[in-house]
A and B are shown apart, each in its own frame.
Chain A
Amino acid sequence: MAELDIENLTFRYEDMVMSFTLRVESGEMLAIIGPSGAGKSTLLSLIAGFDRPESGRVRIDGRDVTGLSPAARPVTTLFQDHNLFAHLDAAANVGLGIHPGLRLTAADRERVYHALKQVGLDGLERRLPGQLSGGERQRVALARSLVRNRPILLLDEPFAALGPALRREMLDLVDEMRKARGLTVLLVSHHPEDARYAAARTAFVHAGKILAVDETSRLLAGESAPELRAYLGELESGEAP
């Protein structure tokens, strides 16, 4: 269990100045939507520590982690692509979450096996990423997040390339993990229906700012900001939640 507190986090990329303030409750799944280039992924990068902010603080459970390296933060990130090392099999890719040099004990191997089983991949331990489907590859990455056992999970559109049914299946799996382990999950998506399906609250990011955070159904009604209405379009905002 961990709550996330982002305070005036500023970051400059080329001409764009971004500034984020956001509070995420412990154990919640928060969706983040917005046009491409708005800064959704940058927000996750700042939380994970891949990018360093110019100013501002990231606090996790009250502890300031702004100066910590990515590995030292209680955070796991899933990207859209390249979550796995292509030349290592599924079990080794998960095992890296336990030891970054793959020195694993028998007990560690057992944990890897169980994690893969939990995400529905038992029997596929020896498969290389190239021999797995897109959904299965992301399941391996989820299994690694299980063995890493960090309380915050950042999803940077990892299911964007999957079809609607498979996407829902993966979101169900993430939600199960969240409930079982009390994970705090941030889900970046460009499908508002993902937010509607999986997240109680949703944040709308536009031009490097968080313009609105609200209950998902209320936010998707599009009342809070003209930019949000423009992003969702008439059809989307007119739909019943």
Chain B
Amino acid sequence: MTRLLPGGVALAILALLVGGALGALLWTAPAIDLGALWADAYLRHVISFTIWQASLSAALSIGFAIPVARALARRQAFPGREAILRLFGLPLVIPTIVAVFGIVAIYGQVGLLNRLTAALGLPTQQYLYGLPGILIAHVFFNLPLAVRLMLPVWQAIPGELWRLSAQLGMRSGQIFRLIEWPLLRQVLPGVAGLVFMLCFTSFAVVLTLGGGPASTTVEVAIYQALRFEFDLGRAVLLALVQLLLCGALIALGQSLARPVTLAPTPQRPHDRPDLAPLGGRIADAIAIAAGTTLVLLPILAVLYAGVTGPIGVVLGDPRLWDAALRSLGVALAAGVLSLAFGWAMLLTSRELRLRRYRPRAADAIEVSGSAVLVVTPLVLGTGFFVLLSPIADVFALALVLVVIVNAIMGLPYVIRVLGPPVMRVAEQHDRLCASLGISGWNRFRLVEWPAVRRSAGLALALCAALATGDLGAIALFGTQDTTTLPLLMYQRMASYQMEQAAVTALVLVGLCLLLFVIIERGVGGRGRA
């Protein structure tokens, strides 16, 4: 029984937290005049805009990602390829508000592009705030993500198929139509669904670049209702709407996603036959250059603005260091909690799957870890708000709530990253451990930890970095006394102290990346593969 305990306890706590928050939402709901709110034209506008921007964002991200991914897959060995792939991993980790700052610095009214057009004597354009800004930011975040998710499709194509296509005399277009596209089509629903979901629930981007009520998503509307209109009823209704829509979207995504069937063979790899033509080389170069520029420019803009900003003034401000310390604490606490909960659930799921032959129960545990994707930070936050405000001062509890919300948000990453190695180590070594009598602490020390250490380091680093950049929960609960770095930066941007915001951005992104690297190397061990 003890072997089922860790996951059982984790699941119970998770159910208590999420269930409590959602229960409070549902319990409050009947007291509100749902009919009247539903008839509200503004609400309908918010919902349709949310879906519209997410659809456009996903279509643009995926549409641009396909040629970039194909170009990177075709050109396996050019100088800088590794660096580009690493660059494409950055948008997942750097805080949203930092990237938004970089995007404003490039595309904003006094951004790089407008300064270039002004220098050429052309009229400058004011276009960023509203739908264009939201789309640019979403493509910045999701194009590289989609590229990285799609690249394994090419790795899975066996060398024999390239030899075969060479022998059959297939051209580039035919290869795309007959080999690459059918394989891509299998993963596209999953990738597109994920990107759509991320854009659908996007908060910081829409908050900062939406520019007004005309371009507001459900997630931002919840925040507005709670923090500015003090309309708890509207916030609860919006949270329930968000919960319903996300649930429906995830259910839809699950039914569409299919696994890729090809497996790579140990055979010597073989170059594909369409590498030589000049047209293809030029097209690939353009795709790679465009994708890289899109991701690199805002990051460089942040670095440049930060380095040339009033460093002394900002660093001399004790509020910055208070905020940095709070961010660090939130990141570590949320990361450790995520890892502990996720790991506990995986151990129990493994026990059920491999040793008690209860795969469905095991699935149920893992799914419930990932099911938290249904709740967004603002939905969860609103739930806690409703649940706790009658009995406590939620703003005094701000940092605790931010840690809890971020720990829950990190769970799906832990399950995804840590799940496969945790399962593999049992499949490979259970019998040997049983026959040698290795168990308990010895088993953890000698067998489990060496096998999962790298994944555990990555999972913890990822959760900590994401929590460092959180602007959802903290925007909801944060006050003057509980400001974290992202909130401080947002406040400075909102009051047009762009130079101070720039230096804050540099500190924030530095903290985030440093935390990521130190945890990944430190916990994951030096042997990186």
Interface centre among B158, B164, B173, B270 (most CB of A within 10 A): B164
- Please state if A100 and B174 are interface contacts (CB–CB under 8 Å): yes
A13 contacts across to B, CB distance below 8 A: 268
Assuming the contacts A86-B261, A100-B168, asked whether A70 and B163 have C-beta atoms less than 8 A apart, the reply is yes
* Of A17-25, A76-84, A171-179, the one touching chain B: A76-84
A83 in contact with B164 given A70-B273, A88-B178, A100-B174 (CB within 8 Å): yes
Contact residues of A between 71 and 104, Cβ < 8 Å to B:
71-72, 75-77, 79, 81-83, 85-88, 96-97, 100-102
The answer to whether B338 has its CB under 8 Å from any CB of chain A is: no
Complex interface residues of chain A between 30 and 84 (CB less than 8 A to chain B):
45, 48-50, 69-72, 75-77, 79, 81-83
Asked whether, in the complex, the Cβ of B168 is within 8 Å of the Cβ of A97, the reply is yes
**How far, in whole Å, are A71 and B170 apart by their CA atoms in the complex?**
8
Instruction: Assess the B265–A82 pair: CB atoms within 8 A.
Output: yes
How many inter-chain residue pairs (CB < 8 Å) link A and B?
A: 72
Q: Within 8 Å CB of B265, what residues of A?
A: 81-82
Cβ distance B75 to chain A, nearest Cβ, rounded Å: 20
Which of A75, A88, A96, A102 has the most chain B CB within a 10 Å cutoff? A96
Known: A48-B163, A85-B178. A71 touches B169 (CB 8 A): yes
Min distance, Cβ A48 to any Cβ of chain B, angstroms:
6
From A81, A86, A96, A130, B168 is in contact (CB under 8 Å) with A96
User: Is B163 in contact with A77, judged by CB distance below 8 angstroms?
Assistant: yes
Q: In the complex, A86 Cα to B265 Cα: how many Å?
A: 14
Chain A's nearest CB lies how many Å from the CB of B466? 36
A71 touching B166 by the CB < 8 A rule? yes
Q: Is B79 part of the binding interface, using a Cβ–Cβ cutoff of 8 Å?
A: no
Instruction: Return A76 CB to nearest CB of chain B, in Å.
Output: 7
* Structural contact, B177 and A79, CB atoms closer than 8 A: no
Question: Which residues of chain A from 110 to 153 have a CB within 8 Å of any chain B CB?
Answer: 130, 148
Inter-chain contact A96/B261, CB cutoff 8 Å: no
Within the complex, what minimum Cβ distance (angstroms) separates A98 from chain B? Answer: 10
Which residue of the partner chain, among A75, A82, A83, A102, contacts B178 with CB atoms under 8 Å? A102
Residue of chain A at shortest CB distance from B167: A70
A86 and B170: CB pair below 8 A? no
Highest count of chain B CB atoms <10 Å: which of A45, A48, A97, A101:
A101
Query: Is B445 an interface position by the 8 A CB rule?
Result: no
Q: Select which of B160, B167, B183, B270 is within 8 A of A75 by beta carbon.
A: B167
Q: How far apart sit A75 and B166, CA to CA, in the bound complex (Å)?
A: 12
Name the one of B163, B170, B183 contacting A50, with C-beta atoms under 8 angstroms. Answer: B163
> Does B262 have its Cβ within 8 Å of any Cβ on chain A?
yes
Q: Which of B158, B161, B164, B273 contacts A69 (CB 8 A)?
A: B273
B174 in contact with A81 (CB, 8 Å)? no
**Chain B 243-273 near chain A by CB (<8 Å), digits 1 or 0:** 0000000000000000001100100101001
Check if B179 is an interface residue, CB within 8 A of chain A.
yes
Given A71-B168, A75-B167, A101-B262 contact (CB < 8 Å): no
Residues of B within 8 A of A50 (CB): 163, 166-167, 270
Give the interface residue-count category, chain A.
Answer: 20 to 34
**Knowing A81-B160, A101-B178 touch, does A86 contact B262 (C-beta < 8 A)?**
yes
Are B166 and A100 neighbours in the complex by a CB distance under 8 Å? no
Any A CB within 8 A of the CB of B355: no
Interface centre among A49, A71, A148 (most CB of B within 10 A): A71
Output the residue of B167, B170, B262, B273 with the most chain A CB within 10 A: B167
* A87 with B169: CB separation less than 8 A: no
Cβ-based interface call for B165 (8 A): yes
CB distance from B402 to the nearest CB of A (A): 47
- Closest Cβ–Cβ distance, residue B456 to chain A (whole Å): 35
CA of A81 to CA of B183, assembled, Å: 18
In the complex formed, the residue of B with least CB distance to A86 is B261
* A69 and B166 within 8 A (CB): yes
- A85 contacts which of B161, B166, B169, B270 (Cβ < 8 Å)? B161
Q: In the complex, what residues of A have CB within 8 A of residue B167's CB?
A: 48-50, 70-71, 75-77
Choose one: B160, B171, B182; the contact of A83 (CB below 8 Å): B160
Query: A96 and B158: CB pair below 8 A?
Result: no
Contacts of B173 on A, CB cut-off 8 Å? 101
User: Are A100 and B164 in touch, CB under 8 angstroms?
Assistant: no
What B residues does A76 contact at CB under 8 A?
167
Please name all residues of chain A whose beta carbon is closer than 8 Å to the beta carbon of B158 when the two chains form the complex: 81-82
When the two chains form their complex, are residues B171 and A82 in contact, meaning their CB atoms are under 8 A apart?
Answer: no
Q: In the complex the two chains form, is B171's CB within 8 Å of A87's CB?
A: no
Contacting residues, chain B, for A97 (C-beta < 8 A): 168
The answer to whether B168 and A85 touch across the interface, beta carbons within 8 angstroms, is no
CA distance A83 to B170 in the complex (A): 15
**Is B168 a contact partner of A79 (Cβ separation < 8 A)?**
no
Which residues does chain B contribute within 8 Å of A101, judged by CB atoms? 170-171, 173-174, 177-178
Contacting residues, chain A, for B160 (C-beta < 8 A)? 79, 81-83
Q: Is the CB of B166 within 8 A of A70?
A: yes
Q: Mark B143-170, 1 if CB is under 8 A from A, else 0.
A: 0000000000000001011011111111
Q: Which residues of B contact A130 (CB under 8 A)?
A: 261
Contact A100 B273 (CB under 8 A): no
Find the B residue at minimum CB distance from A156: B160
Task: Let me know if B169 and A100 touch, CB within 8 A.
Answer: yes
Q: Which of B181-219 contact A (CB under 8 A)?
A: 182-183
Smallest CB–CB gap between A232 and chain B, Å? 26
Query: Considering only CB atoms, which chain B residue lies closest to A79 in the complex?
Result: B160
Q: Tell me how far the C-beta of B124 lies from the nearest C-beta in chain A, rounded to whole angstroms.
A: 48
The answer on a CB contact under 8 Å between A100 and B163 is: no
Q: How far is the CA of A83 from the CA of B160 in the complex (A)?
A: 7
How far is it, in angstroms, between the C-alpha of A77 and the C-alpha of B166 when the chains are bound? 11
* Residues of chain B contacted by A49 (CB below 8 angstroms): 166-167
Residue of B nearest to A75 (CB): B167
User: A12 to nearest B CB, angstroms?
Assistant: 13
Of all chain B residues, which has the CB nearest A76? B167
Interface flags, A176-207, vs B, CB<8A=1, else 0: 00000000000000000000000000000000
User: Distance (Å) between the CB of B300 and the closest chain A CB?
Assistant: 41
Q: How far apart sit A87 and B186, CA to CA, in the bound complex (Å)?
A: 10
Residues of chain B contacted by A82 (CB below 8 angstroms) = 158, 160-161, 164, 265
Please name the residue on chain A nearest to B182 by beta carbon: A87
**Binary A-proximity of B451-489 (CB < 8 A = 1, otherwise 0):** 000000000000000000000000000000000000000
**In the assembled complex, which residues on chain A have CB atoms less than 8 Å from the CB atom of B171?**
100-101
Closest 6 CB pairs of A and B: A71-B169, A82-B160, A70-B166, A101-B174, A100-B170, A87-B182
Of the A-B pairs whose beta carbons lie under 8 Å apart in the complex, a sample of 8, sorted by A's number, is A49-B166, A50-B270, A75-B167, A77-B163, A81-B158, A85-B179, A85-B182, A100-B174
Q: B: which residues have CB within 8 A of A?
A: 158, 160-161, 163-171, 173-174, 177-179, 182-183, 261-262, 265, 268, 270, 273
